[in-house]
Amino acid sequence: MSTPSEFDEFSPTSRVETPPNILGNVNSSILNSSIGLARTSSERDKEATPPNKRMKISEPEEERPLSTSRTHYSTNIHTTERYHNNQTLESKRRHRSELNSKISTLKTKIQEEELQNYQFSQKLMQLRKQLAMTKDQIAELGDCEEMSLKSLKTKYEIQTKELKLKHEHKLNALKEETSTKAKEIIDENNSKFVIQRMELVSVKEDLIKQIKLQQQELRSKLIKLKEDHSKTLNQRKLAVEESIEQLKNEIKQIDEETNVKLNVDIISEQEKLKSLTTENTRLDSIYKQLQVKHSNKESEITLLLDTIESKQKTIQTMKLSFEVKSQEVKNYLQQTEEIHARLALEEPKRRLLHNKLQEIKGNIRVYCRVRPSSTDEKLASLDIPDGELNDVAKQELVISKEDQDHTGTYSNSYGLVNNPSNANCYKFSFDKIFPSDSSNENIFEELSQLIQSSLDGFNVCVFAYGQTGSGKTYTMSNPGNGMIPLSLNKIFEDITELESKGWKYSVEGQVIEIYNENIVDLLATNTGAAKHEIKHDDNECKTTITNTTTISIESQSQAESILERAIKNRSTASTKANDRSSRSHSVFILRLRGENVSNGLKSEGTLNLVDLAGSERLATSQAKGDRLKETQAINKSLSCLGDVIFALSQQQSSHSSISTQHIPYRNSKLTYLLKHSLGGNSKTLMFVNISPLQKNFNETVNSLRFATKVNSTKLPTSKPNSK
Ligand SMILES: Nc1ncnc2c1ncn2[C@@H]1O[C@H](COP(=O)(O)OP(=O)(O)OP(=O)(O)O)[C@@H](O)[C@H]1O
């Protein structure tokens, strides 16, 4: 793309706007002349020659091939084709004539153009000539200008010189004039100054006179002032002297007063000094006394030092004897260790003997416990004839519905048994009978041996049987001294004792409740109704309950808190189901696993502590609805318990060590759970709790009958779960 500046140089507008001055024409003529120099001579000739003479226009060339083609077609092509060809030829001819006319008009146009060009070139030449002329004129003008300039210069110089001269003349005249004027002025001023000076001198003299007068006045004034001042000074001096005198008098007075005071002080100080000297003499005497004491003490110290020396000697002798004693202790300890080792060796023997003793006592033991009465209600007659053992090593209990005066004890024998006519009089015999005044601790003495058996690897089952309110829970779970807390106490005591014999024990606990033949986990943290199934390993004589909480018990205190938790959970359930605790069996299961690191012996025993549901009969309880269902479930499970124990006794009486007799464990959840704690490898203790009240007589008799049935059973000789 061309820039506007390049384009504007040749545009018609730029030509119109350019002013037609001489310089512009000169430039264009110079331009044209330079262009003219660059052109060849032939080109210049062409420009000089008119275009119509120069151009040679040739005829159109289509004419010639048309005549040759026509002769060619006239011989070879068909007539119709020729007609068509003629037609086309005609149209082509017309077209050619049109074209020819167009060409001729174009030619005339070209000629016109060339003519115009020629005219333009002529004009250009004229302009070039004009330009050359103008150049010459300019040169002439330049020369003229130079000449005039020179003349002007000389003129200027002459005029300047003339002017300078004139100026100098004027200046000189002015100078002279000014100097005369100045002289005149100076002279004038000088005369004025002289006059003024004269005047001033006279003024000065006047002034000096005045000053002198004033000085005299001032001097006289000063003398007067000095006189006045000396007078006042004298007066003041006198006044000051007077005041000094006064002050001196005052000082004298003060001096006198101070002297008096000082005298008084000196007297008092002297008195003090006197008292101090007396004190000093007193202290002197004390010091003397102390010196005496000190000498006494010194003699005491020497005595003490002597005793210390003798004591040190005795310490020395004691040290020697201590060394001898410590050696003896070491020997004793060694002996103790040996004894312990021997004890560990003797332990299996001890276990065997202990078990034999338990067997002698009976693998099923029944203890009867009479609850104390707390009301004024009528009591039945209960007689425990002095607690003596009968010919089968049992204690007897005579019970009669006969009225008894409320004496609070049952130790009297009424001779009721000797009266066979008395239909309401019954005699029972058990392994042990605990009267109402027996404490839980007394009862536990009998149970503790079975705890030892459970640690030795036997399955032990402790029941509390009896009607509601007969004291089962009190016997089993009374906080602090129930059979369960005391058993736990005993277990942890024995475990620590057995540690010295090389035994290490682990204790696991579960607490469940059987209510309406359903198992409830009393240690569960969530209240969800998990299903519990009882499973047995008959080879290992082990029983497990699915989905129940098993807690590893490390200490007595932990065991107590577990028991508390179970009791709390049981009471919660009880509240929900209207005193359910009386109508459910609760079972505290303790698994005791022991291992002797010295001899590799292992033992595993289970201790089941069972608080059975109240055993009252349907007729007595007159239960209906849910209560009836509960009572039926209880009765069923309790009678199943009786059946199982009976079957076991039958098995025992057949003298068969191999289990051929069917034992109906499966008939109730309770018996099925206690399968391995009732038969075979087990020891059973049943507490039959009875009420002393006359109104409970029938239930008491029933309980005693059930207990008698159990007591008559002897389980086969058992072996511990030891490996
Ligand atoms: N030997 C006893 N000495 C003192 N109080 C006792 C004794 N035995 C029972 N009691 C008291 O008698 C009441 C009933 O006892 P307990 O609750 O133990 O009976 P229970 O047989 O467990 O009854 P339930 O079957 O309803 O659970 C309780 O208040 C208990 O403290």
Residues 6 or more apart from 649 whose CB is under 8 A from it? 712, 713, 714
Reading the block at residue 525, the tokens are: 């943290």
d(CA 459, CA 718): 10
Burial of 393 (0-12, 13-18, 19+ CB in 10 A): exposed
What are residue 210's DSSP bridge partners? Answer: none
Q: Which atom of ligand 1 is nearest to the CA of 470?
A: 21
pLDDT digits (tens, 9 = 90+) for 354-381: 777 776 666 788 999 999 987 777 778 8
- Distance (angstroms) between ligand 1 centre and the Cα of 470 equals 6
Mean pLDDT confidence for 123-139: 88
CA-derived radius of gyration, the chain? 80
Together in a domain, 422 and 436:
yes
pLDDT digits (tens, 9 = 90+) for 386-417: 656 655 567 888 888 766 544 444 433 333 44
Closest residue by CA, ligand 1 atom 1: 371
CB atoms within 10 A of CB 495: 17
- Distance (angstroms) between ligand 1 centre and the Cα of 549 equals 28
Predicted confidence band at 339 (pLDDT cuts at 50, 70, 90)? confident
Cβ(389)–Cβ(432) under 8 Å?
Answer: no
pLDDT of residue 556: 87
Together in a domain, 112 and 134:
yes
Query: Which position has the token pair 């009669």?
Result: 400
Predicted confidence band at 528 (pLDDT cuts at 50, 70, 90)? low
Together in a domain, 319 and 461:
no
The stretches of 49-78 forming alpha helices (DSSP H) are 51-54, 63-76
Measured torsion, CA atoms of residues 350, 356, 357, 363, in degrees rounded to the nearest 10? 130
Single residue among 335, 361, 387 that ends a domain in this structure? 361
Domain assignment present for 251:
yes
Judged by DSSP in three states, 434 sits in strand
Mean pLDDT confidence for 595-607: 89
Phi first, then psi, for residue 597 (nearest 5°) are -70, -25
d(CA 483, CA 460): 13
- Buried b / exposed e over 74-89, threshold 16 CB at 10 Å, is eeeeeeeeeeebeeee
- Distance (angstroms) between ligand 1 centre and the Cα of 634 equals 19
- Distance (angstroms) between ligand 1 centre and the Cα of 469 equals 5
pLDDT of residue 360: 66
Dihedral sign, Cα of residue 215, residue 217, residue 220, residue 224: negative
Compute the mean pLDDT over every residue in the chain, rounded to the nearest whole number.
79
Q: Please indicate whether residue 594, judged by its CB atom, sits closer than 6 Å to ligand 1.
A: no
pLDDT digits (tens, 9 = 90+) for 283-305: 999 999 999 999 999 999 999 99
d(CA 701, CA 380): 11
Together in a domain, 404 and 307:
no
Together in a domain, 376 and 355:
no
Is 60 exceeded by the pLDDT of residue 621? no
Helix (H) or strand (E) holding 341: helix 79-361
If one residue of 433, 465, 467, 474 were mutated to test the ligand 1 pocket, choosing by the most ligand atoms within 8 A of its CB, it would be: 474
Together in a domain, 356 and 371:
no
If one residue of 468, 473, 574, 686 were mutated to test the ligand 1 pocket, choosing by the most ligand atoms within 8 A of its CB, it would be: 473
If you ran DSSP here, which 8-state letter would residue 653 be given? H
Is 90 exceeded by the pLDDT of residue 509? yes
User: What interface predicted TM-score (ipTM) does this complex get?
Assistant: 0.97
Angle, CA of 618, 622 and 626, to the nearest 5° = 85
Q: Please indicate whether residue 581, judged by its CB atom, sits closer than 6 Å to ligand 1.
A: yes
Domain assignment present for 557:
yes
Domain assignment present for 310:
yes
Q: Please indicate whether residue 490, judged by its CB atom, sits closer than 6 Å to ligand 1.
A: no
Q: Please indicate whether residue 574, judged by its CB atom, sits closer than 6 Å to ligand 1.
A: no
- Distance (angstroms) between ligand 1 centre and the Cα of 475 equals 8
Predicted confidence band at 118 (pLDDT cuts at 50, 70, 90)? very high
Judged by DSSP in three states, 429 sits in strand
Together in a domain, 400 and 514:
yes
Domain assignment present for 90:
yes
- Rounded alpha-carbon distances, angstroms, from residue 511 to 194, 300, 489, 491, 593: 155, 76, 17, 17, 18
- Rounded alpha-carbon distances, angstroms, from residue 694 to 21, 555, 562: 165, 44, 38
Judged by DSSP in three states, 548 sits in coil
Together in a domain, 400 and 299:
no
Dihedral sign, Cα of residue 340, residue 344, residue 346, residue 349: positive
At position 681, the amino acid (one-letter code) is N
Together in a domain, 575 and 623:
yes
d(CA 661, CA 648): 8
pLDDT of residue 573: 58
Domain assignment present for 15:
no
Q: Please indicate whether residue 371, judged by its CB atom, sits closer than 6 Å to ligand 1.
A: yes
CATH code for the domain in which residue 689 is found? 3.40.850.10
Reading the block at residue 63, the tokens are: 């004419």
Predicted confidence band at 579 (pLDDT cuts at 50, 70, 90)? low
Domain assignment present for 127:
yes
Domain assignment present for 606:
yes
- Looking at per-residue pLDDT, the higher value among 471 and 258 belongs to 471
Single residue among 307, 330, 361 that ends a domain in this structure? 361
Q: Please indicate whether residue 473, judged by its CB atom, sits closer than 6 Å to ligand 1.
A: yes
3-7, 55-59, 424-428, 556-560: least confidently modelled range:
3-7
pLDDT digits (tens, 9 = 90+) for 204-252: 888 888 888 888 888 888 888 888 888 888 888 888 888 888 888 888 8
Together in a domain, 322 and 389:
no
Number of structural domains the chain divides into: 2
Is 60 exceeded by the pLDDT of residue 438? yes
Together in a domain, 221 and 276:
yes
d(CA 211, CA 162): 70
Mean pLDDT confidence for 70-86: 69
Range of the domain at 29: 22-361
Is 60 exceeded by the pLDDT of residue 444? yes
Query: Which position has the token pair 């106490």?
Result: 489
Reading the block at residue 722, the tokens are: 């030891």
- Looking at per-residue pLDDT, the higher value among 507 and 567 belongs to 507
pLDDT of residue 623: 59
d(CA 528, CA 357): 46
- Looking at per-residue pLDDT, the higher value among 656 and 495 belongs to 495
Q: Please indicate whether residue 481, judged by its CB atom, sits closer than 6 Å to ligand 1.
A: no
Is 90 exceeded by the pLDDT of residue 616? no
If one residue of 371, 382, 443, 515 were mutated to test the ligand 1 pocket, choosing by the most ligand atoms within 8 A of its CB, it would be: 371
Query: Which position has the token pair 């090389």?
Result: 502
- Distance (angstroms) between ligand 1 centre and the Cα of 371 equals 7
Cβ(683)–Cβ(363) under 8 Å?
Answer: yes
Query: Which position has the token pair 């309406």?
Result: 516
Mean pLDDT confidence for 451-476: 92
Domain assignment present for 202:
yes
Is 60 exceeded by the pLDDT of residue 475? yes
Query: Which position has the token pair 């009420």?
Result: 691
Together in a domain, 353 and 420:
no
Closest residue by CA, ligand 1 atom 10: 471
32-36, 256-260, 481-485: least confidently modelled range:
32-36
Cβ(545)–Cβ(510) under 8 Å?
Answer: yes
pLDDT of residue 254: 86
pLDDT of residue 700: 92
Q: Please indicate whether residue 472, judged by its CB atom, sits closer than 6 Å to ligand 1.
A: yes
d(CA 155, CA 271): 143
Closest residue by CA, ligand 1 atom 31: 474
Is 80 exceeded by the pLDDT of residue 309? yes
Single residue among 334, 361, 388 that ends a domain in this structure? 361
If you ran DSSP here, which 8-state letter would residue 485 be given? H
pLDDT of residue 629: 81
